[in-house]
C-alpha cells in the first residue's frame, strides 16, 4: 500500500484543490447562478452523488456510460458516480413527483465525475449548474430554457457568448426517409458533426437514397446562421415532420427575439451529435477565451418514459469551472480576500466584546495571534487596531497612527 502514501503525488489526476480567491470566486459564481435560477422560479434538487450504474447509464449514450466511475456495494451491485445531473432529475421527476402539478422547474448545482482526459476548465471532477423544465412541450418552454441560459451566462459576467441551436426533430424526421444501420448512422453523424463535405458524400455513397435526400443531407452543414437559414431549409424538407420541426424553430425565434436574446443564437441544422436522449432542440454555448463549450442543453421528451412516467422535458447544464475560467481570461478579477481590520493587543472582555460586535456588523476582523510585530505595510489588512486598555485603541493605517476610544472606533467602523 506504500504507493497510496506517496507524498510526491498526493492527488490522482483530474481533481484539484481550489484555494482562497479561486474557491471564493467559484462559490460566488454558484451563488449568482442559484440566484438567477431562483428568480425564474426554479427550485433546487440536491441529488445523491452516486446511484445504481444502470440508472445513470440507461439513456446517457455509450460515450458517457464508458466515462462513468463505477464501483460495487457490499451486495455486488454496481454503483456509479453521477456523470451529469439530467438523468437524476428525470428519475426524481418520474418516480417521486409524477403526480405534482406540471410543469416542474428544478435546478441543481454540484460536482459530476467523468473518467476522461482533463481539458481546459474540465477536470475529472467538475461542477455543473443546470435547470430542467419538466412537463412542458412547445416553443414557449424551449424559449424559457434558452433565455434563462443566456441570462445565467450574463449573470456570470459574460457579455460575449453564442448559443449554437440545433433541432434533432428535423434530423430524426430526415432519418425516417432512410433505413440506416447503426454503423452507417454513426458514420453519417460523425461526418455531419465535423462539417466534412467529402466524408458526408462518402457516407452517402454507401446509402441508397433519392437525389432529393442526398441534396438535403449535403446541404445540412451549411444550414447554419441567423433565422434566414430556416427559409432555405424549407425548400429541402421531404416530409411534414421536417416542416413542423422548422415551424417550431421559427416560433422559438420569435420568442427569443422577445426575450432579447436572439442575437446570441446561431441556428445550425447540421448539429446532430448530442446526448443520445435529445429529441428536439439541442444547444451548446461558446464564449471567447475557452475553446470548448461552456454549456449544453436540449429537449428530451422520451427520457422520463424510461422511468415509467412519460413527460416532455427540456433543460440545460452550465459548466461552472469553464465559465469561471472564461471570465478570468476575459479580464475578470476575482475579489481579493483581505481582512478589513487586524486586531492586536490585550484580550480583555471589553476588547473582545468590541471584536465580536465588529464581526456581527459584517466586517472581516482577524485576530493577531503570537508576539511577532506587524506593520501596516506588511499586514494582511489595511487597518490595525491595537487594544491598549479597556477603553483605548491605537488605530494604525497607511495615513498614520491615532488613539481613540473603543466607542469612537465602533462609530468610525461604520464608514469602512
* Minimum CB distance to other proteins smaller for 155 or for 196: 196
> Of residues 198, 205, 369, 414, which one binds other proteins by CB under 8 A?
198
Of the ranges 50-58, 80-88, 188-196, 212-220, which one interacts with other proteins (CB under 8 A)?
188-196
Residue 289 C-beta: closest distance to other proteins, Å: 6
Residue 188 C-beta: closest distance to other proteins, Å: 15
* Minimum CB distance to other proteins smaller for 181 or for 401: 181
Q: What is the DSSP string of 328-363?
A: HHTT--PPP---SEEEEE---HHHHHHHHHHHHTT-
Distance CA 365, CA 381 (A): 9
Binding residue count for other proteins, defined by CB under 8 A: 25
* Minimum CB distance to other proteins smaller for 20 or for 115: 115
Question: Could you say whether residue 162 binds other proteins (CB under 8 A)?
Answer: yes
CB 69 within 8 A of CB 81: yes
> Of residues 98, 170, 267, 286, which one binds other proteins by CB under 8 A?
286
Would you say the C-alpha torsion 312, 318, 319, 322 has a positive or negative sign?
Answer: positive
Question: Could you say whether residue 120 binds other proteins (CB under 8 A)?
Answer: yes
CB 81 within 8 A of CB 67: no
> Of residues 27, 38, 77, 160, which one binds other proteins by CB under 8 A?
160
Q: How far is CA 186 from CA 128, 195, 196, 253, 307, in A?
A: 28, 14, 14, 30, 27
> Of residues 123, 155, 266, 392, which one binds other proteins by CB under 8 A?
266
> Of residues 154, 195, 257, 359, which one binds other proteins by CB under 8 A?
195
Question: Could you say whether residue 404 binds other proteins (CB under 8 A)?
Answer: no
Of the ranges 95-103, 156-164, 181-189, 372-380, which one interacts with other proteins (CB under 8 A)?
156-164
> Of residues 225, 240, 258, 260, which one binds other proteins by CB under 8 A?
225
Would you say the C-alpha torsion 140, 142, 143, 149 has a positive or negative sign?
Answer: positive
Question: Could you say whether residue 332 binds other proteins (CB under 8 A)?
Answer: no
β-bridge partners, 71 = 79
* Minimum CB distance to other proteins smaller for 183 or for 372: 183
In angstroms and rounded to an integer, the radius of gyration of the C-alpha atoms of the chain is 28
Query: Residue 26: which residues within 8 A CB-CB, separation 6 or more?
Result: 18, 127, 320, 321, 324
Residue 205 C-beta: closest distance to other proteins, Å: 15
CB 264 within 8 A of CB 151: no
* Minimum CB distance to other proteins smaller for 164 or for 255: 164
Residues 299-328 that bind other proteins (CB under 8 A): none
Of the ranges 189-197, 234-242, 274-282, 345-353, which one interacts with other proteins (CB under 8 A)?
189-197
Q: For the packed helices 320-329 and 20-39, what is the interaxial angle rounded to 10 degrees?
A: 110
Distance CA 189, CA 359 (A): 59
Q: For the packed helices 197-205 and 211-219, what is the interaxial angle rounded to 10 degrees?
A: 160
Distance CA 317, CA 210 (A): 39
Instruction: Please give the residue ranges that form the binding site for other proteins (CB under 8 A).
Output: 119-120, 160, 162, 164, 194-199, 221, 225, 266, 284, 286-293, 329-330
Amino acid at each position: 500500500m506504500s504507493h497510496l502514501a506517496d507524498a510526491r503525488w498526493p492527488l490522482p489526476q483530474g481533481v484539484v484543490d481550489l484555494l482562497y480567491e479561486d474557491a471564493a470566486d467559484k462559490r460566488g459564481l454558484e451563488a449568482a447562478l442559484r440566484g438567477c435560477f431562483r428568480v425564474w422560479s426554479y427550485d433546487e434538487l440536491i441529488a445523491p452523488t452516486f446511484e445504481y450504474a444502470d440508472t445513470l447509464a440507461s439513456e446517457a449514450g455509450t460515450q458517457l456510460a464508458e466515462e462513468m466511475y463505477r464501483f460495487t456495494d457490499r451486495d455486488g451491485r454496481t454503483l456509479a458516480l453521477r456523470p451529469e445531473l439530467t438523468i437524476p432529475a428525470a428519475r426524481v421527476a418520474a418516480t417521486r413527483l409524477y403526480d405534482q402539478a406540471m410543469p416542474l422547474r428544478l435546478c441543481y448545482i454540484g460536482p459530476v465525475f467523468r473518467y476522461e482526459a482533463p481539458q481546459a476548465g474540465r477536470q475529472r471532477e467538475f461542477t455543473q449548474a443546470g435547470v430542467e423544465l419538466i412537463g412542458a412541450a412547445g416553443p414557449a418552454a424551449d424559449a424559457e430554457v434558452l433565455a434563462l441560459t443566456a441570462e445565467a451566462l450574463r449573470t456570470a459576467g459574460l457579455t460575449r457568448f453564442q448559443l449554437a441551436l440545433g433541432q434533432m426533430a428535423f434530423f430524426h424526421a430526415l432519418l425516417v426517409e432512410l433505413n440506416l444501420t447503426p454503423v452507417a448512422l454513426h458514420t453519417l453523424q460523425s461526418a455531419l458533426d465535423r462539417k466534412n463535405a467529402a466524408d458526408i458524400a462518402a457516407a452517402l455513397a454507401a446509402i441508397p437514397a433519392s437525389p432529393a435526400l442526398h441534396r438535403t443531407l449535403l446541404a445540412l452543414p451549411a444550414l447554419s446562421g441567423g433565422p434566414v437559414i430556416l427559409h432555405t431549409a424549407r425548400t429541402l424538407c421531404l416530409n411534414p415532420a421536417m416542416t413542423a420541426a422548422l415551424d417550431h424553430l421559427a416560433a422559438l425565434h420569435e420568442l427569443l427575439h422577445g426575450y432579447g436574446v436572439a442575437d446570441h443564437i446561431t441556428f445550425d441544422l447540421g448539429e446532430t451529435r448530442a446526448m443520445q436522449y435529445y429529441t428536439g432542440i439541442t444547444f451548446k454555448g461558446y464564449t471567447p477565451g475557452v475553446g470548448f463549450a461552456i454549456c449544453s442543453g436540449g429537449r428530451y421528451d422520451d427520457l422520463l418514459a424510461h422511468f415509467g412516467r412519460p413527460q416532455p422535458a427540456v433543460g440545460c447544464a452550465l459548466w461552472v469551472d469553464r465559465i469561471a475560467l472564461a471570465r478570468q481570461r476575459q479580464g475578470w478579477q476575482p475579489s481579493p480576500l483581505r481582512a478589513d481590520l487586524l486586531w492586536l493587543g490585550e484580550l480583555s472582555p471589553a476588547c473582545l466584546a468590541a471584536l465580536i460586535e465588529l464581526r456581527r456588523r459584517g466586517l472581516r476582523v482577524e485576530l493577531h495571534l503570537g508576539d511577532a510585530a506587524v506593520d501596516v505595510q506588511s499586514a494582511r489588512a489595511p487597518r490595525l487596531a491595537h487594544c491598549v486598555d479597556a477603553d483605548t485603541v491605537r488605530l494604525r493605517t497607511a495615513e498614520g497612527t491615532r488613539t481613540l476610544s473603543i466607542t469612537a472606533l465602533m462609530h468610525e467602523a461604520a464608514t469602512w
